[in-house]
Structure 1
């Protein structure tokens, strides 16, 4: 398996994964919007996307958004998206993607990488805990805009 930072060259494969990821969360398939969204993120360098390829097929991805820690005066990252196709789950793809994320964040001298997942996403929570991530002490609030 190879894991590397995605570029415009991987846009087509990445779009399929991204659309499947959004469907996993109950969003209707929309390949053209998914592609446009990713294309813009890559073109503007607004996110860092790692793609996992196994036996010549794209099987997973992660997407990081940069932010900063004002307290630490350092860069930080939000791991906003992670997806592994069904037929390779349990084969170490998620672990390998997360390890690539950690390596990248360390190379960028980031203070931390953070993520959120649903409380009932037991498999993801097990993975994050296995990789020594910990729940923080903060109470998160959100306001959605239509």
Structure 2
């Protein structure tokens, strides 16, 4: 399927003045993962991340409307003794899909990883999320075959 091009797209590192657009997108992202709508809590969560410097968020705008975002969290590799970034969230509002926004957000995250001299970006996605997997494959991400993902619930 051919992607639609859009000439008036801007991707930038999010700041507090992007919070209103970002909150709507973040809440949509959470709902996509089956969570209840929680706009106020979503805004508070994002505001805390930005104020405390705990994440780096890139937001995409199309004609001044928030269209998508990606959020990175800092990590470090003890083995290589290098920084890396966890690409924890990537979301494009359904009205803006197939316009290259997801790819643009990933490229912004990759450029940021290079600028910060990081080892790279790491991410995970659901096994059933085939469209995301195709996007990651097309932008240079490689599936790790020799590691298992574990989770301990507190």
**Shorter-chain TM-score: what band?**
over 0.9
> What is the alpha-carbon distance in structure 2 between the residues aligned to residue 72 and residue 48 of structure 1?
22
Match of 2:123 in 1: 115
Q: Deviations over 1:28-83 (max 9, x none)?
A: 00011101100100000000000000111110000000010111111100000010
Q: CA deviation at 1:4?
A: 0.5
Q: Deviations over 1:94-141 (max 9, x none)?
A: 000000000000000000100000011000000000112111121111
Equivalent residue in structure 1 for 2:26, among 4, 18, 43: 18
> What is the alpha-carbon distance in structure 2 between the residues aligned to residue 56 and residue 41 of structure 1?
23
Match of 1:92 in 2: 100
Equivalent residue in structure 1 for 2:111, among 95, 103, 108: 103
Q: Does 1:79 align with 2:87?
A: yes
Match of 1:143 in 2: 152
Count matched residues: 145
Q: Secondary structure at the match of 1:134?
A: coil
- Normalising by structure 2, we get a TM-score of 0.92
Match of 2:42 in 1: 34
Q: 5+ residue gaps in structure 1?
A: none
> What is the alpha-carbon distance in structure 2 between the residues aligned to residue 124 and residue 5 of structure 1?
22
Aligned Cα root-mean-square deviation (Å): 0.6
> What is the alpha-carbon distance in structure 1 between the residues aligned to residue 112 and residue 83 of structure 2?
12
Q: CA deviation at 1:16?
A: 0.5
Match of 2:67 in 1: 59
> What is the alpha-carbon distance in structure 2 between the residues aligned to residue 30 and residue 132 of structure 1?
34
> What is the alpha-carbon distance in structure 1 between the residues aligned to residue 47 and residue 75 of structure 2?
20
